[in-house]
Structure 1
Amino acid sequence: RFYPTSVMETGVDILRAWVARMIMLGLYMTGKAPFHDVFLHGLILDEHGKKMSKSKGNVVNPMGIIEKYGSDALRVGIVMNRSAGQPQAFSEASVIAGRNFCNKLWNIARYIEGKSDAKPVSNEEIEQAQPETIYEHWILARLEQARQAIDADIAGYRFAEAMEAVYHCIWDDLADWYIEASKASDNIAFMRRVLSIALRLVHPFAPFVSETIWTTFRGEESLLISQHWPSQLKFSKRQASSFDRVIELVDELRNITSQLPPAKYCLVFDDCQMIEENQALIKSLAKLRGIRRDRTPHGLKIVLPHSTAWLELTEEEIADYKDKLQAKLAKLKSEIYGLERRLASQGYLEKAPEQLVHETKKQLADKKRRTVHLGEQLAEIS
């Protein structure tokens, strides 16, 4: 009945001793291989990269870690940043990151629960809730993007990559942008729908915390583990793109104001439909004193692909900001030089794990992009 199975999951250290012999015996006895795919996980090494051994006294007791951080935190910490078949040193910092991820999910749920207490909604209303604003269309777009990535990664046994897609969707998209943008919203049913979708995506990686949150909202008679995986989500691409443009401007404003003396600043624009239509949202997300239209704007000019605006600053503040940009540009160029030297080393390319080389290339591309952007900013100031 259960032969052959679909996947054999095991360690690379017993590939010949166990897996190969299972295949040979299965073919000999039945004429069929005992499994279609073999997934080889890497060994978990100690913090110094050595194989764990009782005789060496370097074994990490998982029960102690679970007692301290929780089972979901351990699961997420082990799965994150772990390529298939690649041995990796155990890092308590990864488990702490897993715990923080679970806490973030819990805090999102508490926020939505607080909103729900003020305006109770039925399960039917939740399932039928539709997006009304640009940020609601945007979060559906991001959840759909994550769903597709997770589907493809799990099908390809890329569990670390699937966990990364979940992590960034919950932390960067849901918590950092949607929750912040929705603080003035009363579309509670849609918030609950978003949480419902997010919990389904998280469940394979953090089953206990996601199940607890689900039953808190839905009751003990409804279990998350028995729910269907999310189907394709429908949203307006145009509306979602509009919020991407808001994010682009708000990100730039946050970056600039973080390098200025603490204060509430005013944004000025001349002719920008995106800013005109989303003034309240931009003001709230960027924590501005105000936004106004002016035919003769002045201050620090901000030029982005989809918007142009000015942050009202004095000449002294602009000069100080320019000095900080030049210092940051010099530091980035130094870091780029170091990464290029590392990637030019044949020894590094041959000996370093593929994932590490990929990460180094990603860092280099990101720093080069930031260098170009800083150069453009300095050119505008000059």
Structure 2
Amino acid sequence: MAEQEQNTLTMPTPSAADLPKAYEPQAVEAKWYRFWEEGGYFKPRPNPERKPFVISMPPPNVTGALHLGHGITSTVEDILIRYHRMLGDETLWVPGEDHAGIATQTVVERLIAKEGTDRHKLGREAFLERVWQWVHQYKGRIQDQHRRLGASCDWSRERFTLDEGLSHAVREVFVSLYEEGLIYRGERIINWCPRCMSALSDLEVNHVDTPGKLTYVRYPLKPVEGESETRYISVATTRPETILGDTAIAVNPNDARYKDIVGRLAIVPVVGREIPIVADEAVDLAFGTGAVKVTPAHDPTDFEIGLRHKLPAVQVIGFDAIMTEEAGPYAGQDRYEARKNLVAELERQGLVVKIEDYNVPLGHCQRCDTVVEPLISKQWFVKMKPLATPAIGAVKHGLIRIVPERFNKTYMDWLENIHDWCISRQLWWGHRIPVWYCETCGEMSVSREDVTACLHCHSTAVRQDEDVLDTWFSSWLWPFSTLGWPEDSADLRRYYPTAVMETGYDIIFFWVARMVMAGIHFMGTVPFSTIYLHGLVRDAKGEKMSKSKNNVIDPLEVMDKFGTDALRFTLATSSTPGNDMKLIEERIVGNRNFANKIWNASRFVLMSTAEVGGGVPDISAVRPRTLADRWILQRLNRLTQSVTRLINDFQLGEAGRQINDFFWSDYCDWYVESAKVQMQGDEATRQSTTAILRAVLDQSLRLLHPFMPFVTEEVWQHLYRLTESDQSKWPASALIIAPWPTAQEQFVDEEAEQQFSLLQEAITRIRDARNQMNVESARRIPVIMAAGEYVTMLKEQSPLIQFLARTEEPQLHVALESKVEQAMGLLAGNVEIYLPLAGMVDIAKELERIDKEITQAQQERARLQGKLSNENFVAKAKPEVVAKEREKLAAQEERVAKLETRRAQLAG
């Protein structure tokens, strides 16, 4: 947006007096997001001197509301985007949504089922109209939820995987790969959902360890000449019903147990089919008996064995999970009913050796939870090995960095063992396969444009393939299709390749690796330079969130209750790259309190420095006058260097934690408190203190802005206190585009840090002693110090010690000539601190009180000792009860010892 257009935005004129006593997130979040979006702050700002920083948002499925997985994705990406925007990079975050073929179709099918109809009754066209109604409703909802999360993406470039442009890209890729011989149609074994009646990708199958049975079955060997007794070979199976489809038994060629029967025939129980015994290295010698049944039509490994040994494939389970005619007497039965009946018959025939309990990794359809069936089906496939090889090289040769690095092996292992990708789905919702079949000549036409006449015989009797493409076939093009490919767009030239692909580690195979393949193949270069993988968000117990467990946390509810900044900061600082995180409400509460701390501290600074004035100086222009000034600037300098390094290294959680520690402890608890003393000094000190208070607050807000954008923008605007005459400054004076802090060499001051740390330690020791002795908070206590080389420094800091530790003016000595009687001795570094007890408590009364406590503690100790010395109690009581009593005794013994030590100190 042009500068002139931005200047027309109207915003309130903030001032220190306008800052309410309490921070109310709901009062500022929508206001600032609207200001940023309408002001064009999310659009890339051209900067030819710097390389663009671009992120393609992983597109959420249009199946409902965002969840916490989207929340952490949005938070991490927004932190990176806001950081690079403040660095001055030309920053672009491309948002979008995924049509989510099977997921969305399933949701809408359930919806219309409640109306008493189904998609087949509606017809394809009417059904797709219903799906589009759903999409328009939820796509807007998802966008609004991203806005609630503070996502500073360029909504003018928002894309949807079924947009016209992305549909064009999908068709171009399909036809190109077909022309290159990398897409083919064939019969192979795939994951099939009997309920959705569609092939599934690996990602759409959830493998769940399920208690099951391992059944050992004897197969008779076909007799050979000279054998007087029937020989058997035993196999173990978790799916007895597939015995009916066996076409071989396989053993490992190195298994000495079966060398003499390789090549012989076995007889399939019940159906009587004669099948060969073959040797194949895919057989695991350690599983079961070392011999495995081979059912090529119902198992991926068996399918490959079948190809190697030219075995027939007999399908005994249908696409509806009902047994087929090939199942003989079990035809028409449900697969599990057939299993039960077949095992009973095998037992009756004496062919069951044994049945063991066994955990079976059952594959379930991700959308409807139906147990999937591996079945042979005629589908469309992509040959993956030619595409995988360059993607392997991209990581191996450092063109792409994976964070954390340990996922390099995961990435490599999958690509090195990759299988062809089944890309066709028996759905109506999605990118329809651009293939037309001719009813006249039987040929197939694959085309970038819709076909109305056969490309071979020109007959108009053509029909398009009914299937649609796997959802991932459109999303693997996401980094470049969203920028206008296959057109030669300005965005594509400027913003490809992108910088970072940030997503969950659970889809590194199914999406991330495929994007690398597609980017290299179609664009000639990697689609991003960094892959950042975050972990899953789990509940407070570390369990995966699910509706069935009733432990799903709605991010909208959390934001309504605690504010967006609190949720974002919790998600950012509770995780490390690639590791799962527990979302604990206490942390969210703590981060809401942090937002309040920022607010209250800022309000104090604004109000306490208002009379002095002077605006907000550039940090490089401030001049420290005191030890506290030098110390806070050194600490800020160190923080700025550390946070910048950590964000660049994607250690966002640690960066956020360090900012929190600095602001809460260094700035609020120490410097602001020190400033209260300094503001009582001369005018020059007041001026310098005000400048540093404001400058450090300014820099802190900048560092914190990517993590907590709303509270920081609100406070920052008040800090700069723009008046109506300053409205021309507004576009350049929004925190969202304020320059990122840089370290200032003139503030490097190790001496100040060392000296102030000693001062902090001394004050903390005195405070702890006061608490221990229960000294009234308002009472000032005497303090004597043997400070050695630090005596001059501590004399200069005497006002701070008096104010922060509530002491009388410290008596400072290089060394003490004699011991201080009746005093509590403390040590801070090499500084000896003595607190005369008479100055803190009435010694006589305190001794009397302690004596009473000692007597009570000794009586309780004696009671517990007596109880535990009773052999009858120890023998009959529950072990946990006895252990509890021993814990109580240990606690009383410790209490007596502490009280006696304290009495000795007081008595001198």
Q: TM-score, normalised by structure 1?
A: 0.78
Partner of residue 256 from structure 1, selected from 761, 769, 772: 769
Looking at structure 2, the residues matched to 39 and 49 of structure 1 have their Cα atoms a distance apart, in angstroms, of 22
Aligned partner of 2:263 in structure 1 is: none
SS in 2 for 1:117: coil
Looking at structure 2, the residues matched to 207 and 99 of structure 1 have their Cα atoms a distance apart, in angstroms, of 13
SS in 2 for 1:229: coil
State how 1:1-382 maps to structure 2 within 5 Å.
1=493, 2-54=495-547, 56-124=549-617, 128-184=621-677, 185=679, 186=686, 187-218=689-720, 219=722, 221=730, 222-233=733-744, 234-235=746-747, 236-263=749-776, 264=779, 265-270=781-786, 272=788, 273=791, 274-293=793-812, 297-298=820-821, 299-314=823-838
Letter in 1 for 2:565: D
Unaligned runs of 5+ in 2: 1-492, 680-685, 858-897
In the TM superposition, residue 309 of structure 1 has moved relative to its aligned partner by 2.5
Are the equivalent residues in 1 in contact too, given 2:616–2:719 (CA < 8 A)?
no
Looking at structure 2, the residues matched to 44 and 304 of structure 1 have their Cα atoms a distance apart, in angstroms, of 43
Unaligned runs of 5+ in 1: 328-373
Are the equivalent residues in 2 in contact too, given 1:127–1:193 (CA < 8 A)?
no
Aligned partner of 1:332 in structure 2 is: none
SS in 1 for 2:772: coil
Aligned partner of 2:172 in structure 1 is: none
Larger % of helix: which?
1
Which digits, 9 at most, give the CA deviation of each residue in 1:82-118, with x for residues without a partner? 1111112322212111111111111110110111222
Looking at structure 1, the residues matched to 610 and 582 of structure 2 have their Cα atoms a distance apart, in angstroms, of 45
Are the equivalent residues in 2 in contact too, given 1:9–1:38 (CA < 8 A)?
yes
Looking at structure 2, the residues matched to 291 and 255 of structure 1 have their Cα atoms a distance apart, in angstroms, of 17
Letter in 1 for 2:754: S
Change (3 A) 1:149 1:271: closer
Are the equivalent residues in 2 in contact too, given 1:150–1:165 (CA < 8 A)?
yes
Which digits, 9 at most, give the CA deviation of each residue in 1:262-307, with x for residues without a partner? 2432101355413322211111111113423576544222233241
Change (3 A) 1:48 1:122: closer
Looking at structure 2, the residues matched to 303 and 120 of structure 1 have their Cα atoms a distance apart, in angstroms, of 41
Looking at structure 1, the residues matched to 519 and 564 of structure 2 have their Cα atoms a distance apart, in angstroms, of 36
Letter in 2 for 1:302: L
Change (3 A) 1:304 1:60: closer
Q: TM-score, normalised by structure 2?
A: 0.34
Query: Paired residues, what number?
Result: 329
State the Cα RMSD in Å. Answer: 2.9
Which digits, 9 at most, give the CA deviation of each residue in 1:217-270, with x for residues without a partner? 212621112111112133243233322211011111112111002243210135
Are the equivalent residues in 2 in contact too, given 1:126–1:192 (CA < 8 A)?
no
In the TM superposition, residue 76 of structure 1 has moved relative to its aligned partner by 0.5
Aligned partner of 2:872 in structure 1 is: none
Looking at structure 2, the residues matched to 270 and 82 of structure 1 have their Cα atoms a distance apart, in angstroms, of 46
Are the equivalent residues in 1 in contact too, given 2:713–2:734 (CA < 8 A)?
yes
Aligned partner of 1:366 in structure 2 is: none
Are the equivalent residues in 1 in contact too, given 2:643–2:658 (CA < 8 A)?
yes
Letter in 2 for 1:300: M
SS in 2 for 1:255: helix
In the TM superposition, residue 169 of structure 1 has moved relative to its aligned partner by 0.5
Looking at structure 2, the residues matched to 35 and 271 of structure 1 have their Cα atoms a distance apart, in angstroms, of 58
Which digits, 9 at most, give the CA deviation of each residue in 1:126-176, with x for residues without a partner? 762221111111111111121122112111111111111111011111111
Looking at structure 2, the residues matched to 57 and 308 of structure 1 have their Cα atoms a distance apart, in angstroms, of 58
Looking at structure 2, the residues matched to 25 and 91 of structure 1 have their Cα atoms a distance apart, in angstroms, of 39
SS in 1 for 2:553: coil
Larger % of strand: which?
2
Are the equivalent residues in 1 in contact too, given 2:617–2:695 (CA < 8 A)?
no
In the TM superposition, residue 54 of structure 1 has moved relative to its aligned partner by 4.3
If you compute each CA radius of gyration, which structure gives the higher value, 1 or 2?
2
Are the equivalent residues in 1 in contact too, given 2:634–2:750 (CA < 8 A)?
yes
Letter in 2 for 1:231: T
Letter in 1 for 2:782: C
Are the equivalent residues in 2 in contact too, given 1:301–1:309 (CA < 8 A)?
yes
Change (3 A) 1:4 1:286: same
Farther-moved stretch of structure 1 (116-125 vs 187-196) = 116-125
Looking at structure 1, the residues matched to 826 and 550 of structure 2 have their Cα atoms a distance apart, in angstroms, of 58
